[in-house]
Structure 1
């Protein structure tokens, strides 16, 4: 049974999510503040963390930053705002997904399932190579020029899809469906934020040409040559 940690200072939201997740056969842990979340995640690491950004004292972005120092547990951010800067910051800190309040508990449960599928590395070749870029989805491992690069499960899934057909452009809607699933609504801005963050990570690692935009069509893998 997969274990989900719900972190929110609103007891009604915690209870709502607990009911929805347990109905979907997940085991639920709960925390009302950032420090409690860190303690719980370190003591008994969950499979997915649902993390409110607007926590008192230590906000969700700070919690995520601290967690990423020791573990790569998938994180779904909750926020009362839909500002692009919040979404970009969340992904830059290491978030896998982003859900705006008010939300549908059923949709959030579906997103948990999608994150778990992505983090499992299902139905992907054991090793994918493109220039200096090497991806091992089942091991959740990415290397650029033999140096490890930390990716979230969503970034790993996006890169896996692109490397699976490296010379063929993939339309953004199709890429979104392949990564999230066809029954989950994801805005174009969310996928754009993921791609922007993934490009930045690859460029910082010395692979600035990893993802190309084919105008009017979609995106595809570049040559991934060393900088």
Structure 2
């Protein structure tokens, strides 16, 4: 897949640099704009922007106006940044078709995680991407799991949890790490939600559920018995 292009729009050059540095480190191409009008010029000029990170408070044309204009032409994902944590702002953003809403100050790592989650959702997995382990076959494109060739029904989160386990075979995974990677920072509650999902997943995997080992006091490890 070609490198993914992201447009970062913020009138603070220091903020743009911070966000850009973290995104470039993850392999993205980053375009920058210092105000809304410059952002729209770039948006029309570059036809393959995959995601827009957009500050609300900007000169010439604010984030709401930019988002409104983008939505007249495109469904490209938009992450809105704001210095204010105001529920009315958040509701207005979602009504305009904002995909994510992040209040400043924020952790750049969390922003990058949200970018990755949205792009996985919108761009999808590479065609034909298959994972296999001990009679379990995961088709990431079709969102399908087979046990010894027989399809099984998994919920969306059970599918993502199993995929994460198989992609990290033999690695001890803490509950916090699983939350951050499978729940993509969406969930800030009790980590025991993982235990509930693991219990259901083990049941659906039948005897292969034993591949998911409990590491007491820490989390889990997926290991196929030889």
What TM-score, normalized by structure 2, do the two folds share? 0.56
Q: CA RMSD, aligned part only? A: 2.7
Question: For residues 174-212 of structure 1, what are the alpha-carbon distances to aligned partners after superposition, in whole Å with 9 as ceiling and x for unaligned?
Answer: xxx99x942414579xxxxxxxxxxxxxxxxxxxxxxxx
Show CA shifts across 1:12-46 (max 9, x none).
00010111000011000000000110110111031
User: In structure 2, how many angstroms separate the alpha carbons of the residues matched to 1:10 and 1:115?
Assistant: 24
Native 8 Å contact 1:74 1:96 kept in 2: yes
State the Cα distance separating 1:117 from its structure 2 match.
0.9
Any gaps of 5 or more consecutive residues in structure 1?
A: 127-159, 162-176, 189-227
Greater relative contact order (Cα 8 A, min sep 6): structure 1 or 2? 1
**In terms of Rg, which structure is larger?**
2
Alignment of 1:105 onto 2:108: yes
The equivalences for 1:111-150 within 5 A come to 111-121=114-124, 123=140
- Return the offset for 1:91: 0.8
Q: Which secondary structure state, in structure 1, belongs to the residue aligned with residue 80 of structure 2?
A: strand
Aligned residue among 6, 11, 15 for 1:4: 6
Q: 4+ runs of 1 displaced by more than 2 Å?
A: 120-126, 185-188
Query: CA–CA distance in 1 between the matches of 2:54 and 2:85?
Result: 15
Structure 2 alignment gaps of length 5 or more: 126-139, 144-154, 157-177, 190-226
The residue that corresponds to 2:223 in the other structure is none
Secondary structure at 1:69 match in 2: helix
After superposition, the C-alpha distances for 1:118-148 in whole angstroms (9 at most, x for unaligned) are 112555769xxxxxxxxxxxxxxxxxxxxxx
Within-5 A mapping of 1:199-218: none
User: For residues 186 and 7 of structure 1, do their structure 2 counterparts lie closer, same or farther at Cα, with a shift above 3 Å needed?
Assistant: farther
Separation in structure 1 between the aligned mates of residue 107 and residue 35 of structure 2, nearest angstrom: 22
Separation in 2, partners of 1:184, 1:114: 10
Q: Distance in 2 between matches of 1:83 and 1:102?
A: 14
Tell me if structure 2 keeps the 8 A contact 1:75–1:95: yes
Secondary structure in 2 matching 1:54: coil
